Structure formats: structure tokens, C-alpha cells
Amino acid sequence: EAQVTQNPRYLITVTGKKLTVTCSQNMNHEYMSWYRQDPGLGLRQIYYSMNVEVTDKGDVPEGYKVSRKEKRNFPLILESPSPNQTSLYFCASSLHPSGQDEQFFGPGTRLTVL
Amino acid sequence: AQSVTQPDIHITVSEGASLELRCNYSYGATPYLFWYVQSPGQGLQLLLKYFSGDTLVQGIKGFEAEFKRSQSSFNLRKPSVHWSDAAEYFCAVGGSSNTGKLIFGQGTTLQVKP
């Protein structure tokens, strides 16, 4: 089944404790992206990747890192999480980074930083 | 600046009634427009998309949307709502080949009364 998977689905952590949210897609998509969803703000892009080893900042990249060593994986790293990073996170992928292709979304990761 | 506005945060309709969710966009170039649905605890699923051609597009689950360039709108409609349509709906605009980013509206939560 074609899908985007994220792990973990739920995470409660404390300020400053490094964490990684994994994202994997099995559709051989070039483009992958991370969004965060906050009430009243919709989804905002954190980072994106056009292809392996090519990543760039989105609209809200502060406090996050990403890497794209393999085509299928695009982990989101919070080196020192803070309470304002409490949010619902979605990974997405599409075949091409044209903005025309449908983006497929993972199920989301709900993160709480205490 | 590129933006998407969904004027209605919450909408409540009775089962069997018709539905219209509003979406207005601001985008300098030709927009690629999308409607996504997010059911509770789920990721986002694409309902329909518009790139060009016929301004009335059909989607899954009986939804349709009409692109009106003169009004910068892309409203989502359904003739008869089912209880299972209760969810959050997001309008988004894409088209930037530089980032592949989707710009999302704030979302509209649909409640369906029995």
C-alpha cells in the first residue's frame, strides 16, 4: 500500500531533550516536506526536500533540523525542544516538487513539550 | 503575499442538507488549488484539485468545487451531507516550483447534526 508513515504518533517530552520524528514514504517520491498544524493557523511548512541531499527552510524552520540521506526517509529533528514546539506535525511527499502534484500526508505526530 | 482565507471556522449543518465551504486566495500567478479533508486522528486526504480547464471540478465522496478567478474563490460544495463528512476541511494553494510548498487556509470544522 502506498503510504507515508510517521513515528511516533504521540510523544510527550521535556524541554531540552533531543528528539527525532521519523518519516518514510514507499512511493519513490522526490519531494518531501514537514508541516506543523496549530489551531487557527492551518498548516505551515517547516522544511522541505527536493531530492536526496537537497533540503531547504520553509516558513517556520527555527528550532528544527532535517536530513535526506535516502530518498524514502526524511526525519525531523528537534535538538532542544521548547514548549512552543508543542504541535501536530505532518510529513508529506509528492512525486515532483512542482506544487501541482498531490501531496500525500502521513497520519501526524502529536508532540507535547513540557 | 500569497495567502488563503477560509472565513468560516466552524459550520454546523443537518444531515441531508447542502454544504458550501468558502475559500478565498491571494496568489500572483496561476494558482493550483486543492481541498483536503482531515478526519479526527487522521492525516490529510485530497478531496479534489484544480489546475486549469473546466472551472467546476468533481472530487471524491460526492464533493465538488468551483474556481472563480474574478472572485479569487474556490468554494467546496456537497448537495447532501452525511454524518461521516464531519471533519476539518482545508483549502490550499500551490504552484511554486521553487519550493513545492502548499499554502493552507486556517481550516473549517464541519459538524453534522443528526
pLDDT in tens, B12-48: 999 999 999 999 999 877 789 999 999 887 889 999 9
Instruction: Give the least confident one: A11-25, A45-59, A77-91.
Output: A45-59
Residue A40: band (very low, low, confident or very high) from pLDDT cuts 50, 70, 90:
confident
Q: For A98, which residue in chain B has the nearest alpha carbon?
A: B97
Which among A33, A42, A108 has the least Cβ separation from residue B100?
A33
CB contact under 8 A, B101 and A99: yes
Rounded distance between C-alpha atoms, residue B101 and residue B108, angstroms:
20
pLDDT of residue B57: 96
Query: Is B99's Cβ below 8 Å from some Cβ in A?
Result: yes
pLDDT reading at A46 higher than 80: yes
pLDDT in tens, B81-111: 999 999 999 999 986 666 778 889 999 999 9
Tell me the chain B residues in contact with residue A105 when contact means C-beta distances shorter than 8 Å.
36, 43-45
CB pairs under 8 A between A and B: 71
> For A56, phi and psi rounded to 5 degrees?
-155, 160
